[in-house]
Amino acid sequence: MHSALTPKPWNTLPLPASAAVRTLHIHAGQSLWLQTQSGIVWLTCEGQLADSFLHPGQSLRIAGPAKLHLGAQGSQKSQGASLRWCDAAVAPPPALAASTTPA
């Protein structure tokens, strides 16, 4: 739990280029903001046909229930990617030029 003196609603998820795909579960009734900080994040949601690719500064809001698979897009020589996420009920939407919300 975060201290009231230092609220940090955002969590950071590093996605090294050579690392295995990471899984993120979003529970029913929960909604998360995802925002790419660096690199290109590949994201797929179980049950959906299309993958998403988020470039630095792009965000996506996803409502649960959902099971996401995340990784860094690019070669193993790339720097990887970094993604931050938070509960949409706790933090305001990220102030971004490019923001998308799936249907």
CA distance to 22, 33, 35, 60, 99, per residue, from 95 (Å): 26, 11, 10, 12, 8
pLDDT at 100 over 50: no
Measure the CA angle with vertex 101, ends 12 and 74; round to 5°. Answer: 50
Average pLDDT of the chain is: 81
Domains of the chain, CATH where assigned: 11-91 (2.60.120.10)
Q: For the whole model, what pTM was predicted?
A: 0.76
pLDDT interval class at 19 (50, 70, 90): confident
| β-pairing verdict for 99-100 and 41-45 | unpaired
